[in-house]
Structure 1
Amino acid sequence: MESYADRPWLKSYKLGPFKLKTAIEYPKKPLFTILDETAEKFSGKDAYYYFGKRMKYRELKRQVDKLANALIALGTKKGDTIIVFLPTCPQFIISDFAILKTGAILVPCSPLLKAPELKHQAQESRAETIICFDKHLDLVNSVKSGTMLNNIIVTSHEDYSPAESEEIREIPGTYHFRKLIADHEAKAIDVKIDPTDDLAILAFTGGSTGVPKGVMITHYQRLANILQGLPWMMAPFPTYRGSASSLLSVPIFHAFGHYIMQSSIYWGLRVFLIPDPRDTNMIVQLMNEYRLFLVFMVPTQLLKLAQPEIEIKRMPVMVMSAAAPLPAEVAQRLEEKIKMPISEGYGLTETVVSHINISAFAKVTRFATSPKPGIGLPVPDTDIKLVDPDTGKEVPFGDVGEIWLRGPQTMKGYWPDAGSGLEEDGWLRTGDLGKMDEDGYFYVVDRIKDMINISGMKVYSIEIDECLFKHPAVVGAVTIGIPDPERPGSERIKAFIRLRDDFKGKVEAQEIIDYCREKMAAYAVPKFIEFRDDLPLTVTEKIFKRALREEEIKGMKEKGEI
């Protein structure tokens, strides 16, 4: 009898008439070599586009080498941790590769963090150096006490943009990013790195389900994951390398955005940088003007693009969604505009990318197949099994189970202990529930923590969300379970809905409930509906279900209901 260990998805490793590799060789070399090699092969190609300003790959490498020497002059040693507290901008890319070249460890932190969150990550990572915008200097100084932060390197929103000033304004107690680069040579740095053991990245989880944890990623693990993505998927089309463009609208400090940036560098792409992921106008303008080949987004961004008032031209673009499940209704609305299918990927901070839906990609490459929904196929050399959370046993094909995975891209462990967070034999429990079809394509059903228990019946919140999105008045929806005061241990379903502007004040909660009753089992129908103009988002643009749940429970306690 076939099992998950047989990797039944390998039979679907094909792009149109082309068969894709079922296994890959992963070189054991430092991660920063991907920039060195691209700068040599595509030296005159644009590395990025930022507010209309571009930089060639050869110049990007020179800037990186100069900053790496500057960091060493400041006392940076192999194994040190350096926080990059920046949004999507060229300075992040330069910092990323410069830090790697010194043998230090990059700690990407969201510039949307509040003081307590930044202080926690600074304390946990034991970072002595931080790179930030000058407008965040007061925040950084407010958290220095109780941390090891010593060196503060500042830059600005205008740096590396058309608005950049020739004058460098130095701030006492800090080092200026551009001055450090100007004052140091682009000399080669001799640091011995063991790619399989030495850390390249210490990325903190989003914290949407608990306290953020530091995820340790080695040079080898990240390079392996890069090779499992675009280079594997696009192997039949080598001419795209060094000639195509990508749009980075996912924040670069997010694990997926960071991965996409590094993958684009490896492939010699011109990366269009979106500083503000909420700037829908900039995203649309760049898509329409430059007809980009690859566009990476999260579902909340795609939801905005799918709105009727947003005009996007028909174009041969590959749009990939990740970081959260993409409602089928949203994908369909956008597909009708651009006349191309929307693909999905899947991963965690602990792995970044473990699945890619290549069925949608076939049409972009002019080898049309029938696109399949869902997160797609496990990438090469990745083992997946679906496990019953209650029994610990593998579930039959087609049944729902928790997604367990392992592969060369799986983290070294949670900081600072190697192996922590991993099960026996290196398996990572994702906390996500999924199922696999007969072709080896996977589908996420829900997170275990988001699954709702109605008197012992399992209800998947994502399925309710999908139903709500199909209602013509609904533009956004999220479902949670809240305690049932009448049945201890059971829950009730509450849905939060954002209506289209032309439906506001015209739709009642009961109408939504009746609509769900026609589409779903009685026990899965929401008991409560609340209309909101805005839904809380995490720093990575995911809908923050935990915040909604905590808010509801607090309110119920204040009313004496629980």
Structure 2
Amino acid sequence: MTYKFENLYQNLSFYASEKSRHIAIYDEDMEISYAELKAKVDAIGAYLQNSGIRFGDRVAMYVQNGYEFFTIFLGITSIGAVAVPMNTFLKNEEIEYILDNSRSRMIFASTALSKELKSISAPDIRRIIWVKSKSDEPTPNSALPNAQTQGALSEHNVSFDTVLACKTKLEIAKSPTENDLSHIVYTSGTTGRPKGAMIRYKNILSNADKATPRYNVSGKDRFLVFLPMFHSFTLTATLILSLYNGASIIALKSVFPITNVLNTALKRKATVFLGIPSVYTMLGKAKLGWKFRWFNKLRVFMSGAAPLAQQTIDEFYKKFPKAHLIEGYGLSECSPIVSLNYYDKQKILSVGTPLDGYEVKIVNDETMEVARGEIGEIIVRGDCVMEGYLNIPPEETLTNGWIRTGDLAYMDDEGFIYIVDRIKDIIIAKGINVYPREVEEIIYKMPQVEACAVVGIRDEYADEEVVAFVQLKENQKLSEREIKTYLKNHLANYKIPKVVHFVPDLPRNATGKVLKRALKEQIAKEGEKA
């Protein structure tokens, strides 16, 4: 299938010519037009070329939210190099592994994160470009000991301002095609080491092209971006989707405090809001002043990363009755969007239907498609599916272009998908499958509950026991007995948690997903102490 553009630089160049004065990025008090954005991208691309970076070379990014992130991403890809955006919450050993695995030759890094780079070895890195925000410390003098000299690379530490000041004209000898790599995104590594999903231009352009009508996006939209830009959901569903349509991005450093997010949305007239379940929970509790209620321009809210609870959806529509909350489903290996609800047709608790041109099947353990309404694993094929994992043979990941997601779901007669759980999260209690999400949905209906997570813990007989972790709302009280009694009115006895743990907070990753592995490890440690 052919898309409007073959690569992101062509995409940027088109809008820099057609609507040069239109604001591409709002960042605090900065307003960067498409023409200005292209000038910055050209400077970065030329600097990288002058530094010996060539087509296909990997350039890492350890950069916090801001106009710099997307500008750097576009600068790297402008010359056909491959961007490697890294989770800014990673620590020394994790960073070292990704730099080594990706064989990155250069890294852009926020000065605020410099301490995580000082004690690691990265043999292939030849230069660090330091990105400084207003409140940061001065650019570090040295970091990343060189494997050959084992000495400080002070002469190889460069300020981002120096890069932007590059006067060399960008000369592109070879432009990327839709089948070339744009970036490598590393999975969270819930089992073993993280794996680098190799994403092609075709993958992200198809996502942007097919998501546009589902969200009803146009060049007049303004995307509010506060989730981590390094994550595939934010990168594609806001940054690239906005660029694809010649729209605008409103960059924020963080979702905290939520009042700042709402004030910025009002001030900058945001129309599109990307969030995750925990953000929508905060929105449900936030006090919206009359000025915001009357004058905000938000028309569509996107949700991803994890399914929304019914309670969260209900609370959202009480505060935004005229808006559209569109829930979708995806995974990094699919660039990441696989399915979305429609702008004018949604089914509550469904993640919608596959984007046009993508094939989705629900299959059993033998990868045979199951009947509508039956639960099985989601498999996906189409332009969204990655090329494969870096340094891993594609045949170990993909079968005839199909990727197994590890997610359990069922599909209704109209093709709408309903996520049930992750295969690895299924609890087998007394030989019967228990889906944690089903139990969690009931617990969420209790008004005192802020958040919850249900996991399976193996007992001495190798069977699994259902265990719940519950986070209460502020100033609320609830006992284990009250929760169990409530659940007995809604669930079979074998699904009732044997133990309920009350916790002040649930451990989450950068995109708000609850880290169930951490909860299981917590139980294991307590068992060892006992």
Query: Which secondary structure state, in structure 1, belongs to the residue aligned with residue 333 of structure 2?
Result: coil
How far residue 350 of structure 1 moved from its aligned partner, in angstroms, is: 0.4
1:276 aligns with 2:271: no
1:334 aligns with 2:316: yes
Measured in 2, the distance between the counterparts of 1:164 and 1:265 equals 28
How far residue 146 of structure 1 moved from its aligned partner, in angstroms, is: 4.7
For residue 242 of structure 1, the aligned residue among 203, 210, 219 is 219
- Aligned residue for 1:541? 512
For residue 157 of structure 1, the aligned residue among 114, 133, 149 is 133
Measured in 1, the distance between the counterparts of 2:358 and 2:58 equals 29
Measured in 1, the distance between the counterparts of 2:48 and 2:224 equals 30
Amino acid at match of 1:212: P
| Offset from partner CA, 1:181-228 (integer Å, 9 cap, x none) | 1133343422243431x2111110122344210000112222222212
For residue 233 of structure 1, the aligned residue among 175, 199, 214 is 214
How far residue 483 of structure 1 moved from its aligned partner, in angstroms, is: 0.8
How far residue 309 of structure 1 moved from its aligned partner, in angstroms, is: 4.3
Measured in 2, the distance between the counterparts of 1:378 and 1:531 equals 38
Alpha carbons of structure 1 residues 521 and 287: separation in structure 2 relative to 1, 3 Å: farther
For residue 424 of structure 1, the aligned residue among 379, 392, 399 is 399
Contact kept? 1:45, 1:242, Cα under 8 Å:
no
| Offset from partner CA, 1:165-186 (integer Å, 9 cap, x none) | 9x99987440111112113334
- Aligned residue for 2:52? 75
Contact kept? 1:206, 1:540, Cα under 8 Å:
no
Measured in 2, the distance between the counterparts of 1:192 and 1:266 equals 18
Amino acid at match of 2:363: V
Contact kept? 1:154, 1:177, Cα under 8 Å:
yes
Alpha carbons of structure 1 residues 319 and 194: separation in structure 2 relative to 1, 3 Å: closer
Amino acid at match of 1:428: I
How far residue 355 of structure 1 moved from its aligned partner, in angstroms, is: 3.5
Identity %: 28
| Offset from partner CA, 1:75-101 (integer Å, 9 cap, x none) | 111111111101211111111111111
Measured in 1, the distance between the counterparts of 2:304 and 2:516 equals 17
| Offset from partner CA, 1:269-314 (integer Å, 9 cap, x none) | 1111121234322222223444422111111111111115465626
- Aligned residue for 1:127? 104
Matches within 5 A, 1:274-353: 274-307=252-285, 309=287, 313=293, 316-339=298-321, 340-353=323-336
How far residue 122 of structure 1 moved from its aligned partner, in angstroms, is: 0.8
Query: Which secondary structure state, in structure 2, belongs to the residue aligned with residue 432 of structure 1?
Result: strand
Structure 1: which 5+ runs fail to align? 1-23, 363-368
Alpha carbons of structure 1 residues 67 and 290: separation in structure 2 relative to 1, 3 Å: closer
How far residue 262 of structure 1 moved from its aligned partner, in angstroms, is: 1.0
- By relative contact order (CA 8 Å, sep 6+), the higher-ranking structure is 1
1:502 aligns with 2:475: yes
Alpha carbons of structure 1 residues 418 and 69: separation in structure 2 relative to 1, 3 Å: farther
Amino acid at match of 2:469: F
For residue 221 of structure 1, the aligned residue among 203, 215, 225 is 203
Measured in 2, the distance between the counterparts of 1:136 and 1:354 equals 30
For residue 364 of structure 2, the aligned residue among 365, 388, 391 is 388
How far residue 478 of structure 1 moved from its aligned partner, in angstroms, is: 1.0
- Aligned residue for 1:406? 381
Contact kept? 1:101, 1:191, Cα under 8 Å:
no
The normalised TM-score by structure 2 is 0.91
User: Greater shift after overlay, 414-423 or 327-336?
Assistant: 414-423
Structure 2: which 5+ runs fail to align? 143-153
Query: Which secondary structure state, in structure 2, belongs to the residue aligned with residue 502 of structure 1?
Result: coil
Amino acid at match of 1:97: L
Contact kept? 2:130, 2:139, Cα under 8 Å:
no
- Aligned residue for 2:146? none
Query: Which secondary structure state, in structure 2, belongs to the residue aligned with residue 493 of structure 1?
Result: strand
For residue 199 of structure 1, the aligned residue among 181, 193, 198 is 181
For residue 491 of structure 1, the aligned residue among 452, 461, 464 is 464
For residue 38 of structure 1, the aligned residue among 4, 8, 15 is 15
Measured in 2, the distance between the counterparts of 1:146 and 1:269 equals 38
Contact kept? 2:111, 2:140, Cα under 8 Å:
no
How far residue 418 of structure 1 moved from its aligned partner, in angstroms, is: 5.5
For residue 55 of structure 1, the aligned residue among 32, 41, 62 is 32
Measured in 2, the distance between the counterparts of 1:408 and 1:53 equals 36
Measured in 2, the distance between the counterparts of 1:520 and 1:546 equals 25
Contact kept? 1:345, 1:353, Cα under 8 Å:
no
Contact kept? 1:32, 1:97, Cα under 8 Å:
yes
For residue 524 of structure 1, the aligned residue among 472, 495, 500 is 495
For residue 265 of structure 1, the aligned residue among 236, 240, 243 is 243
Amino acid at match of 1:138: K
Amino acid at match of 1:189: I
For residue 430 of structure 2, the aligned residue among 452, 455, 467 is 455
- Aligned residue for 1:375? 351
The normalised TM-score by structure 1 is 0.86
Measured in 2, the distance between the counterparts of 1:246 and 1:442 equals 26
Contact kept? 1:208, 1:538, Cα under 8 Å:
no
